[in-house]
Structure 1
């Protein structure tokens, strides 16, 4: 480590809407991200990592605050001003003497001016078009014209017009700025989130007709699954829908390889600068994407594994090269407390995540491995249905037939899930539930909620869920002067445990 400082650089690489399963190291038959798979072998890859909420902004606020959306109050993609917390990751790192940067997509509660260096891009191109040359401006117009949909042809402009290439170039500019302080760099790719587009040579790298067969639409998955499928059939045409979704899936895989090549480019450049032994590298995604499973794309329907499971890889000084790690559940809320322990600084009040540092380093740490996975969704109230009178925009229908999968019908209500071992339970505010044995049914095709032979397991997980929800009751604001908060530590779900 650089002798000018005693704390490592931190490189947080985030993708948007990356399905955890779709890499060869995770059992997918196609080699979509070979460099990332190799990188995972040099550190720790949590094979059971989850998002706190499978929606962009709620998940990103959970990343920065270490809190679940029911407590930080950002429960949809437009409620950033509601963010409630004591200190977040940016506050902690600034107090610890870090210079900070965002290169790529933000979509958190933090404004661009909160970072020392910010080059922001969205799904529609640069937030500062005047900074881009004519070729990139033309490409950004192409992105906007797609209306968050799919391109049936290779994207124009080549690789250098693509946002991942531009994000990495901006990141290198920040890294090379003269400053002796350690850096925190949030490299935030807006891909493989829709619009599903990719240039040559990635466009037909994974041809649509040669892809693995996805899970078909499933009966009994709930109203939102069938409702979303009906929307795609209406938008693309019932006869054409599956062909369009195959192209979405093909482009999605091509985007993964494009991102992988740009991560390789960045890591090669960091190695040239001698930063590889000085930097904690974290790779994760905010949430997943159906990417063709169940006849769907994007997100919006409840808490299936396709949406709540995320990739999570840690590599860097002090972190053992364990490769795949199945010994505990990890969550996006765990990033902040893990970095706090790594940097030997206090965890902010109200943080609900648990440090993973002892797992990463093989040394005794502040917390026990988590034995329960938990995630939540919904902005509250009762469910809206297709029979209710709602303005078109609340149903996700916008100009020129464009459709947003996040709308009043898909996001209303409250849904929670827990996973313990290979068993997973989803439950909502109307006492409607689903139960799956992921060991034998990883794609959740067979709902065991009403199976009498699984009644004992269902009751056990309902008890685990009730306990988890009570444990996650917000402790903020901390009662001043009079009380001290004693935080829960993970347990086996059978009883309370506190420290």
Structure 2
């Protein structure tokens, strides 16, 4: 049956953001173990961007890029730091612009902004940040004042005597995994979808909506329901890739520590961590199907764009590293899928895979173009909509990424086929041929046959870093050992400045 005519003049848009989901962890991308049938269905009905990255791969700066459409050069957040008032530093947001142009905007789940209850342009927020990054200073008994999931959870009769211990002691940054011990409907992943379905009943039916559906998982705690954990814990163990360059960060090694970021875990702990991580992924995938079925029940499927992405990845033992912050594929490569609304793009190609290098900064201009809204000049990302129409527009040939980690700035450039990395502490360099070596096992920086290529990439990084506050470039060369900072001087200046009112951007149709 052909799609019917639109019931409104602009599409609804659902932006699904998961936390710490690797770009390769999709069965649609050929992962040998993970199964994601419902996310795969989005890809089959839309466009999957196979070389998508998070340029600043931790929660805080990645969400700045997502909400502002900006690169690290523009938004000025170079590392993980809580406590920067979001709306002062970043007054123009995707959701704020949509709201100013007639969209009802709702966020459900993880925000990870400061203050926690800041709406940063949304009409309303139903919050579950997982680990409450500031509220803990007020004492654990007051967390419900800052977290809607915990408020709900502690009122559920099924929570029983364990109502104050929703996570069973499974740590929010720990590699120790254990299945969820409560009824599954109490799990925060289920709660996000339940809230979203309830919101569909309460939305204003006379205007289009933008829904930010944000999951704390598959980020630790690695505590999926038992069925999801069992799906992977009985798989044969697999050794992670370890590069010939792994000694570059040897001084930061902490083997067998359950919260290690650089170190090797015993095989059983590592295997269970993977089972918990992949189990979280399969759990989200199933709950997404629940939400997508609800859209169908409301007859909204053909009027609604679905965008799926993650704020960053998870190293999961690759190169003896866990968690994120580093430039390697497990950390910086993210999934990105755009499934158009059939009533608004009836001829959009299906099942496309685009290999152009993309980044989280591209989500905001994509959303605004789909909504028929003018893109503010604060944005330096680029819209992906032409790709979803089957076009191949002129496109960037490289992205620059960075993150303060291991006490230094880890800088990197990639076009999705090669990657150049520079660590500011001692100037260690790495160069990977991602086409021939997708798991980054071999550092080619000392390969005489690649010397000219490495030099070209180095010079490109120098161009990106020239004029930076830290003084990473002097006399046309990279400078090592410079003090690093997690945000630009311009962002620091906003922290004591009065809040700037959100921008109003007129509708451009």
TM-score range, shorter chain: 0.7 to 0.9
Deviation (angstroms), 1:246: 1.2
Match of 1:344 in 2: 372
Residue 165 of structure 2 aligns to a residue in which SS? helix
The total of aligned residue pairs comes to: 440
The question of 1:135 aligning with 2:158 is answered: yes
1 CA distance for matches of 2:450 and 2:391? 38
Report the Cα distance in structure 2 between the residues aligned to 1:26 and 1:3, rounded to whole angstroms: 32
Q: 1:192, 1:361 → 2: CA distance? A: 31
Gaps of 5+ in 1: 379-409, 478-499
Q: Distance in 2 between matches of 1:334 and 1:287?
A: 15
Establish whether residue 155 from structure 1 lines up as the match of residue 183 from structure 2: no
Within 2, Cα distance between the matches of 1:109 and 1:268? 34
Task: Report what 1:256 is aligned to.
Answer: 281
Aligned to 1:241: 266
Instruction: For 1:25-424, list aligned pairs within 5 A.
Output: 25-74=28-77, 75-81=79-85, 84-108=89-113, 112=117, 114=119, 115-124=122-131, 127-128=147-148, 129-132=150-153, 133-136=156-159, 138=162, 141-143=165-167, 145-148=169-172, 149-150=174-175, 152-179=177-204, 180-207=206-233, 210-216=236-242, 218-221=243-246, 223-224=248-249, 227-230=252-255, 232=257, 241-300=266-325, 302-317=326-341, 318=344, 320-362=348-390, 368-378=394-404, 410-420=405-415, 422-424=417-419
Q: 2:8 aligns with which of 5, 8, 19?
A: 5
Matched with 2:462 is: 466
Indicate the structure whose relative CO is greater, using CA pairs within 8 Å and at least 6 residues apart.
2
CA distance in 2, matches of 1:417, 1:50: 12
Distance in structure 2 (CA, Å) of the matches to 1:360 and 1:234:
40
Change in Cα spacing, 1:225 to 1:35, as seen in structure 2 (3 Å) is: farther
The answer to whether the Cα contact below 8 Å between 1:103 and 1:120 also exists between their aligned partners in 2 is yes
| CA distance, structure 2, for counterparts of residue 70 and residue 140 of structure 1 | 42
| Partner-residue secondary structure (3-state), 1:335 | helix
What value does the CA root-mean-square deviation take over the aligned residues? 3.0
Aligned counterparts, 1:439-454, within 5 A: 439-454=435-450
CA-to-aligned-CA distance 1:140-181 (integer Å, 9 cap, x gap): 614162232255542211321111111001001111115121
Whole-Å separation in 2 of the counterparts to 1:351 and 1:472 = 20
Distance verdict in 2 for CA 1:303–1:235, change over 3 Å: closer
Structure 1 residues 178, 21: CA separation in 2 closer, same or farther (over 3 Å shift)?
closer
The whole-number CA distance in structure 2 between the counterparts of 1:235 and 1:344 is: 46
User: Residues 248 and 428 of structure 2 are in contact (CA less than 8 Å); yes or no, is this contact kept in structure 1?
Assistant: no
Q: In 2, Cα distance between the equivalents of 1:124 and 1:52?
A: 23
C-alpha contact 1:433 1:449 (8 A) present in aligned 2: yes
Following the alignment from structure 1 to structure 2, what is the Cα–Cα distance between the partners of residues 438 and 335?
24
Unpaired stretches in structure 2, ≥5 consecutive residues: 133-143, 470-487, 492-509
- 1:446, CA displacement in angstroms? 0.7
Poorly superposed stretches of 4+, deviation over 4 Å:
1-4, 233-236, 468-474
Q: Within 2, Cα distance between the matches of 1:443 and 1:45?
A: 20
* Deviation digits for residues 58-112 of structure 1 (CA, Å, limit 9, x no counterpart): 0001100111334323331414326634511121111111111111111135754
